[in-house]
Amino acid sequence: MKEKFKIYLESIDVTKPIRDKVEKIYEFYLKICPEEINDVFISDYIKEDGTREFDNMWFFSNSYTMEAKQFLSKADDFDMTPIKGRIHYLNIQKRDYDFKIATHISRLYLRFGLDTGISGDLKASRKNCDFLRDTFSKYILPNLKT
């Protein structure tokens, strides 16, 4: 697994068993993605009891996005789609986040839609908001159709 992936996972407090699962999924996508996988993002949210829940995991290459849905469950549910120039819809919802520096109470939600009818939902809490902001700037916004 790339060193920058490891740094990201540690920075959002992902435990070793989850990191191991991420590595297995990454190895799977390496076999099917025709391009280098550049980035990873894990959706997370804070439950009512204050605990953090990791949800879906995303990988990004220059032209593709790959999602492992509910990646911590026992069943594998993976998909992959081209995104280069195909995004036609964006919805951003944020709470206590200025798109600069996340705090402990920051929340960010991003929904995008492709011209194929496929959509993606990415959620972030705390400092993961900064990583979602960067993912948005690098992969979502540049692929918005004009």
What pLDDT score does 69 carry?
A: 97
Per the rule left: phi > 0, alpha: psi between -120 and 50, beta: everything else, 50 is left
Per-residue pLDDT of 32-89, as tens digits, reads 999 999 999 999 999 999 999 999 999 999 999 999 999 999 899 999 999 999 999 9
Q: For 127-138, give the DSSP string.
A: THHHHHHHHIII
Q: What's the whole-model pTM score? A: 0.95
| Domain segments of the chain as ranges | 3-143
Q: If one looks up domain 3-143 in CATH, what number appears?
A: 2.30.29.30
For the record, the structure tokens of 135 come out as 């993912």
Q: In this prediction, what percent of the chain has a pLDDT beyond 70? A: 100
